[in-house]
Amino acid sequence: MNKNLFISFSKIIFIVLFIAFFYKFSAMFNLYRLYSYIDYCGESFYIMPAYKSVSAERVLNLNGIKIGKDKIVNYDLKLPIEPAFTLEIVKVSQKIRKEKKEIPFRVLWSRQYSSNLRTVELQKGVEKTILSDIAEIFHNDILKNSEVLRQRSIAKEYFRLVLLTKDGQVEKIYDLSKADRINMTATAYYPGDPLAWGDGTITFLGQKMQRGIVAVDPSVIPLRTRVFVSGFGYGYAGDTGNAIKGNRIDLGVNNAEEEKPWMFRDVVVYILEPSNAY
């Protein structure tokens, strides 16, 4: 066989093989185009839509797929499935989530006092708690959207006492609504008061007698306790007295004139905390 004849024969073989390959590829491609696809809750598979007059619902039933109220479909199940079409079936679920949101204390009214031992600020304010029931909708276990079904707000108004440092910074905050409180009968005394312990200038704890020091019965209010007295303000339990027994409290004031309005006056005493300092 001469060289030219061999080349011609090789070309013929190549053309025949190419035509065969192209025919097979075309057949596979056309077959591929005949497939329909089902995406069932995120899992995909293909089917041959050989039933041109059979509804999609029937095809699904033949493949063991039931469509319930918890499923949504992107196709009219009464119609046959078209070739190359993807029928999507999505599982829908719902969860109810409870959410609690705290809105911090908002000051409605405040006033500073510096006459008793240190500067304090009495504040009236409100804090809120918002409770929500939220419906979360999932498609194939993936969060699709959410909506608030019910919401209610709980508001709490209360007073709090803020202890300030010498440069006006917040040192401590006391929620008076949570503090223990005692109904007491108040009297008052002042530095140099002839009825006071010793000479009336030094307290039982050895501190300088001054406005804001209060004398207590240690069995009721322990010494070295920070207190807040209604109408009087911040105080520190630093003294005792022979007549101060039970629910009695003696309020340290500046002089005899300030003493008079406090004689046997009913007060509420808020117990703040034990402390070695004012």
Same-domain status, 183 and 242? yes
Let me know whether 185 and 214 are in one domain: yes
Residues 214 and 261 in one domain: yes
Tell me whether residue 64 is in a domain. no
Q: Are 270 and 181 a contacting pair, CB within 8 Å?
A: yes
Is residue 4 pLDDT above 80, yes or no?
A: no
Those residues with Cβ within 8 angstroms of residue 159's Cβ, 6 or more apart along the chain or in another chain: 122, 123, 124, 176, 177
- Please give the tally of structural domains in the chain: 2
- The three-state DSSP-derived secondary structure of 131-193 is EEEEEEEEECCEEEEEEEEEEEEEEEEEEEEEEECCCCCEEEEEECCCCEEEEEEEEEECCCC
Please indicate, yes or no, whether residues 199 and 221 belong to a single structural domain of this protein.
yes
Give dist(CA 92, CA 98) in Å, integer. 20
Examine the fold and report which residue of 172, 191, 212 is the final residue of a domain before the chain moves on.
172
* In-domain check, residue 196: yes
State pLDDT tens for residues 129-171: 999 999 999 999 999 999 999 999 999 999 999 999 999 999 9
Q: pLDDT digit string (tens) for 46-94?
A: 887 555 678 888 888 888 888 988 999 999 999 988 888 899 999 999 9
Whether 14 has a pLDDT exceeding 70, the answer reads no
How far, in Å, are 93, 140, 147 from residue 135 at the CA level?
10, 16, 5
Same domain for 154 and 183? no
Task: Give yes or no for residue 3 having a pLDDT over 70.
Answer: no
Neighbours of 89 (CB within 10 A): 19
Do 129 and 151 form a contact (C-beta atoms < 8 A)? Answer: no
Domain range for 188 is 179-274
pLDDT in the model for residue 46: 82
Q: Would you say residue 241 lies in a domain?
A: yes
Look-up: residue for tokens 């063991």?
64
Does 270 lie in the same domain as 195? yes
pLDDT at site 138: 96
pLDDT of residue 28: 46
Is residue 59 assigned to a domain? no
For the stretch 15-29, pLDDT in tens is: 655 555 544 544 444
Domain presence at residue 149:
yes
The whole-angstrom separation of Cα 41 and Cα 30 is: 28
Higher pLDDT, 24 or 41: 41
Residues 214 and 233 grouped into a single domain = yes
Give the pair of three-digit tokens for residue 42: 């995120």
- Regarding whether 260 and 203 lie in a shared domain, the answer is yes
Inside any domain, residue 69? no
Residues near 11 by Cβ (< 8 Å), separated by ≥ 6?
none
Percent of the chain with pLDDT over 70: 86
Same domain, 199 and 133: no
Q: In this prediction, what percent of the chain has a pLDDT beyond 90?
A: 69
Same domain, 168 and 185: no
pLDDT higher than 80, residue 42: yes
Residue 254 has which token pair? 């500046």
Q: What average pLDDT does the structure give for the chain?
A: 88
Given 157, 172, 187, which residue is the final one in a domain? 172
The verdict on 198 and 239 lying in the same domain is yes
**What are the tens digits of pLDDT across the range 226-262?**
999 999 999 999 999 989 999 999 999 999 999 999 9
Could you tell me the CATH number of the domain that includes residue 257?
2.40.40.10
- The answer as to whether 31 is a domain residue is no
pLDDT of residue 31: 45
Last residue of a domain, one of 149, 172, 195: 172
Domain match, 251 and 183 both: yes
* pLDDT of amino acid 11: 62
- Residue 101 is assigned to a structural domain of this protein: yes
